[in-house]
A = this chain, B = another copy of it.
Amino acid sequence: MVPVAVIGASGYTGLELLKILARHPEFELVYVATSEGETTTQALHPSLEKVVQLPVEKADAAAVAEVAQLAFLALPHKTAMGFAKELLERGVKVVDLSADYRLKLDAYEAHYCPHEDKSHLPEAAYGLPEFYRQSIAKSRLVANPGCYPTASLLGLLPFIPYIKEDTPIFIDAKSGVSGAGKKLSAATHYVTINENIFAYNPIKHRHAPEIAEKIDDLFLTQVQVNFVPHLLPLTRGMLCSIYMQLEKPLDPLAILQDLYAEEPFVRVREKPVDVKSVAGTNFCDIYAVCNGTSLFITSAIDNLLRGASSQAVVNANLVCGFEETLGIPTFACVP
């Protein structure tokens, strides 16, 4: 068993990490921390009573290094890179769920803040296994993608070779409210969201540059990515509806099948996908259809799992040389 740590256990992605790791056949959860510590997993998350009952420490890199070989960081942007740096210097491998290692330096500093771990940034692997499996397996630092880029990239990357030159991509993303985290806000008050739907930060959301950068990285193509997230009345799940223009008509399901048939965590569907069928799992379900040279792609994930915690454990499996599918949830919360 490989001893692992979870730093940042109080939020929703921290909870999902605890739930996956507590059942994982090869990882042993030896250290759990929050910024404050002095509690237990079941006090933080009452649903873990009689299930996962571990002490929760005040996060400390030195203490992690003493007991764990790999750490999952479920921390806010900026806080994460401070910990990551210290852990890497102490020989602990890191899977970081924040944005801190997802972008190249310039893009990061343009959209977030000055980077405080420039030394390790270049060696971070982007944790989207279907497209970066090799580099993840060789890395000791994985930048776990955001939920929006995960669903968007898995849907649109197969079609980048066929995109019509100089045309933009439009991504209409719909997210469950858990994506906004546990922090209270008027936008996530029950009365605001129930019986409602609205876009937020349209066009200006900072996941657009993450998507554009990976398209460029993989296909050496600059594409204008127009990203519009919407908040809707459900807790878990994310649906991305992607609109593109192609050079010429094609059979989109055949292209998806060619690329993904053997992938354990992508399902190419013959009908429009829904979020329920993936909620609770690491699957990304995808469907696409053309109208002449206009292409519509729809992809669905669980924002907290494939969009965060279960993908993080897949990455940890790769980093540690385990079978990619080991201990990863595949049974959906249906009905």
Contacts and interface: CB of A to CB of B under 8 A. Distances in A.
Contacts of A230: 174, 239, 241
Nearest to A188: B190
Contacts of A298: 198-199, 202, 228
Nearest to A329: B331
B235 A233 contact: no
Contacts of A198: 239, 272-275, 298, 300
A144 B102 CA distance: 50
A49 interface: yes
Interface in A315-335: 330-335
A156 to B, nearest CB: 14
30 contacts: A19-B331, A45-B334, A47-B281, A47-B334, A51-B330, A174-B197, A178-B191, A184-B186, A184-B189, A189-B190, A190-B192, A190-B233, A190-B235, A194-B195, A194-B233, A194-B235, A195-B275, A195-B276, A196-B237, A197-B275, A198-B275, A199-B239, A200-B272, A202-B272, A203-B289, A203-B291, A224-B291, A226-B294, A235-B335, A236-B335
Which 4 pairs between the two chains have the least Cβ-Cβ distance? A198-B274, A47-B332, A170-B243, A172-B172
Interface of A: 12, 15, 19, 22-23, 45-47, 49-51, 167-168, 170, 172, 174, 176-178, 182, 184-186, 188-200, 202-203, 224, 226, 228, 230, 232-237, 239, 241, 243, 245, 264, 267, 269, 272-281, 283, 289-292, 294, 296, 298, 300, 304, 330-335
